[in-house]
Structure 1
Amino acid sequence: MRTTEAQNAGILFLALDTYGRPGGIQRFNQRVIAALAEIAGEKGWKRPVIHIMRDGEADIPQTASAAIRAFGRRRLDFIVRSAVAALNCKILFLGHINLLPVGLICKLVAPRIKLVLFVHGDEVWNDPAYRRMRFYEPLMARALSRIASVSTFTASRMQKAFKVPAETFRLFPNAVDDIDRQPQSSGRNILTVARLDRHDRGKNIEALIKAMALLKRRNVECVLRIVGEGSLRSELASLAHELAVEERVEFLGRVSDARLAEAYAQARLFAMPSSKEGFGIVFLEAWLHGLPVICGTQDAAAEIITDGVDGLAVDPGDIEILAARVAMLLAHPDLAAAMGRAGAEKVRSRYLMRNFKGNLEKIIAELP
C-alpha cells in the first residue's frame, strides 16, 4: 500500500468473542486490536474500526485508540453495520473463518476493499473431529487477498482443503507478553495447561496419565499437575483411578495468574503431547518460565519447538517414549534448565508483541 494512500486508509477488523471470555483466539484478537491501534497512531491513520460479534458492551475496555463496538446477540446489526463501515475502509481483517460470509458481503458492497483472514488451527483443517469445511467456503476464499496463518502446518492443511493458492498465505505467528521475573524450578512436577472441553481430547492429556503409571512402576518420583477445567476432567480422573495413580495426578482446575505462576515455579518441565495444536502458545509461556517442553509430533508444535534443543517432540501414541523423555528431564535438571533457557531466548527473539506488530505491518504494507 503506497504511503499517500495509507495515510487515508481505514482499517476494519471483524471478530467473534474477544474480551467476553478467555481463550487463545480471544487473546490473539486483543493483540490484533492493540497492534492495529498502535500502527494507525504511528502512521497518522484513522482509528481502526473494530466490530465484535458476540461480546456485550460491558465486556469492551475503554480505549481512545480504536473504535470498538460490541453487538452481543444482534447478528443482523453486526452484518449491516460492518458492511456500512467497509465503505470507508481499505482493508478488512477477519478474525475467524466463520466470518468469511460477512467479509464477502462487505466485499460486494465495497469491491476495492482488501480482505485478510486470520487462521489459527483446526477450524480450517477440514477435520470432522473439530470443524468440517462448509461447502461454500473454498469459493468465498478466492476473494481473500491474504491469509495470515499462525503456522506453516495450518497453512498447509488449509491450502490442501480449500485449494487456495500458496502465494495467498503469510506466516503470522502468535505472541506472548514477556515476564519480569527470574525463572526457577523448585520441584519434580510435570505441568500441563489446557482447557478440558470435549473438543480438546486431542490435547492427549490421557497420554500423560498413562505415562505416569509407567513412571510409578519404575519408581520415578514425580507428580502430574493439570491446570484447566472442562467436561473431560471427570474422564481423566477416572483414568487416573483406574491406573492407580491418583496420588500422582493433581487437578488444579481453573486458576488465577498468580497461582499459575506458582505452578510453573514448582514444575521441572511442561508437557502436552497434543495432536491438535495450530500453533502452541502454551509452550511459549512455559519457556518464559524457564521450563523445557514436551510436545507432540503430529501438529504445529513440532514446527515451533526444536527437538533436543529447547524441548522434546514425542509421538503421543508412544507412551513408552513419552515416559522415557519425562524421566530423562527429571533425572537431568541441568539439561532441563538449559532447554528452558534456549526456549526463553527463542520467545524473546521471535514471539513477543513487537514481532507480532512488525509482522502485521508487513502484511498491511504489501497489500496492493
Structure 2
Amino acid sequence: MSHRRISLLASQAFGSPGGIQTYMRLILHALEAEARLGEVFSLWDSDSDTDLQKWLQRAGSSAHCAEGNKLHLVSQCIRHARSDQIMVVGHLGLSPIALALKALGRIRGYVVILHGIEAWCELHGRNELALRLADGIVATTPFTRDKFAQMNELVPTRIAVLPLAIEQERFQGSYNAPRTRAVNEPMRVVSVARLDSGEQYKGIDHTIEAIAQLTERGVDASYRVVGDGDDRERLERLSQNLGVTDRVDFLGRVSDEELRKEFRQADVFSLPSAGEGFGLVYLEAMYYALPSIACPEGGAQHVIINGREGLQVPYADPGALADALERLGEPSLYEELSRRALEALHTRFSFDRFRQDFISIVDRIPCAE
C-alpha cells in the first residue's frame, strides 16, 4: 500500500458546520490519523480562525490560507505544492488550479470531490477539462455520481462514492439506545435549514402545511424550525394563514448547545427536500436517534432509506407528509426506525468507515503508486 502524502485544496474547511466544510475536515482528520497529511490550501479560511489554529497545533501542521483571494491561493499553490504529493480538490470550481499544477509538475496527480447541486449540470471550459483529466473523481452519493456522469458523458464506474460521516466532537450526549413512544403521545417535529428564498426546495412550507392537516385530523403535533434567512417572512405568513402559529415556532439561528437541545427534545426530523446533495443534517438527527422524513429526490434518497432510517414522501405533497408523520406515531414503527437510524450512524456513516474508504480510494488511483 502507498504511504504517499496527500495534500488538500479546499474552498473552506473551518468556520462553518456546512456539509462541504465538514467533508473537508473529515479528510483532514483521516489524513492526520493515517499520518498522510501533506500541504493544506484553502480559499476562504483565515489564519486567524481559532478552530483552524487549534487543529493545526494538534496535527503539528500548517495551512496556506488565501482569505478569499483566489490569485493569492494560486500563488500559494505554485509556491508550496509538492511534486511527490497527490492533491485532493474539495470543490470542482477549484479543479482548474489542480490541472495547472499537474501540468507544471508541481503535484503528482489530483482527485476532485463532487458534493451535489454544483455537479448536477454539464460542465464547460476549464472545469470540464479539469474533470476529464482528473486522476480520480469522488461523489458523496450515487445520485450525484450518476447525474454528473449523465450530464457530462462519463462512465459512472469512473466515479467513486464516499458519503459523509458525523463529526462527533460537534455533538454531545448521543443516544446509545433507540427512542420509545407511547400511544397518542404528542408529536414534536423539528427542521434545521437555511430559510433562503433561493432554497425553497427544502420543504419547510410543506411541513407547515402537513402540521395544519394533522391539526385538522385531531393529531397533537408541533413544529420547531431552526435557521434563518430571507424566506422566513413568507413561511411565518404561511403558518398564520393556516392558523397554526400556536404550533409552529421559528427559532432563527441557534448555538450548538441550543441545537443539541432541540434534537434531544424532538421526536422526528423533517426535511422533505428536493435538492440536497447529501444532507449532513440527516446524520445529525441520527446522532440523536431521530427518525427522519425525506424525499426520494437528490442525494437524500441514499441517506434516509424508506422504512429504514425514516420515511420517504413524494416532494411537495403535504398530505403524504402528514400521513408519514401520523404513521410515526405508531410506537413499534417509530422505535424500529429509531434503532435503524442509530445503526446506520455507527456503520454506514461512521468516521472509521470514512477514513478507511477515503484512503483506499486515493491509493487505488494509478498516480498513487
Q: Same fold (TM over 0.5)?
A: yes
Question: Are residues 1:120 and 2:115 paired?
Answer: yes
Q: How far did 1:222 drift?
A: 0.9
In structure 1, the gaps of 5 or more residues are 127-131
Residue pair 1:55, 1:71 contacting (<8 A) in 2 also: yes
2:333 matched to which residue of 1? 335
Q: How far did 1:155 drift?
A: 0.5
What is the root-mean-square deviation of aligned Cα atoms in Å?
2.0
2:41 matched to which residue of 1? 51
Deviations 1:237-288 (A, max 9, x none): 1111122211111111111222122212221111111111112222222122
Q: Distance in 1 between matches of 2:138 and 2:336?
A: 33
Q: Distance in 1 between matches of 2:10 and 2:147?
A: 22
Question: Are residues 1:89 and 2:84 paired?
Answer: yes
Residue pair 1:86, 1:109 contacting (<8 A) in 2 also: no
2:354 matched to which residue of 1? 356
Question: Are residues 1:219 and 2:209 paired?
Answer: no
> Relative to structure 1, is the Cα distance of residues 148 and 329 closer, same or farther in structure 2, using a 3 angstrom cutoff?
same
Q: Distance in 2 between matches of 1:174 and 1:50?
A: 20
In structure 2, the gaps of 5 or more residues are none
Q: Distance in 1 between matches of 2:68 and 2:316?
A: 42
Q: Equivalent residues in 2 for 1:150-299 (5 A)?
A: 150-178=140-168, 180-182=173-175, 184=179, 188-299=187-298
> Relative to structure 1, is the Cα distance of residues 262 and 142 closer, same or farther in structure 2, using a 3 angstrom cutoff?
same
Residue pair 1:120, 1:278 contacting (<8 A) in 2 also: yes
Question: Are residues 1:61 and 2:56 paired?
Answer: no
Q: How far did 1:180 drift?
A: 4.1
| SS of corresponding position for 1:223 | strand
Task: Report 1 or 2 for greater relative contact order, CA contacts < 8 Å, sequence distance ≥ 6.
Answer: 2
Counterpart amino acid of residue 348 in structure 2? R
Q: How far did 1:135 drift?
A: 4.2
Q: Distance in 2 between matches of 1:239 and 1:311?
A: 26
Residue pair 2:95, 2:131 contacting (<8 A) in 1 also: yes
Deviations 1:22-75 (A, max 9, x none): 412112111111111222x2xxx5x41101111221113242433212111432
Q: How far did 1:185 drift?
A: 6.8
Q: Distance in 1 between matches of 2:86 and 2:163?
A: 20
Question: Are residues 1:30 and 2:20 paired?
Answer: no
Residue pair 1:268, 1:336 contacting (<8 A) in 2 also: no
Counterpart amino acid of residue 252 in structure 1? L
Counterpart amino acid of residue 34 in structure 1? H
2:102 matched to which residue of 1? 107
| SS of corresponding position for 2:282 | helix
1:129 matched to which residue of 2? none
Q: Distance in 2 between matches of 1:300 and 1:173?
A: 10
| Alignment TM-score, normalising by the size of structure 1 | 0.90
Residue pair 2:313, 2:321 contacting (<8 A) in 1 also: yes
Residue pair 1:87, 1:109 contacting (<8 A) in 2 also: no
Question: Are residues 1:306 and 2:310 paired?
Answer: no
Q: How far did 1:146 drift?
A: 1.1
> Relative to structure 1, is the Cα distance of residues 70 and 218 closer, same or farther in structure 2, using a 3 angstrom cutoff?
same
Question: Are residues 1:366 and 2:364 paired?
Answer: yes
Deviations 1:140-159 (A, max 9, x none): 21111111111000111111
| Alignment TM-score, normalising by the size of structure 2 | 0.89
2:325 matched to which residue of 1? 326
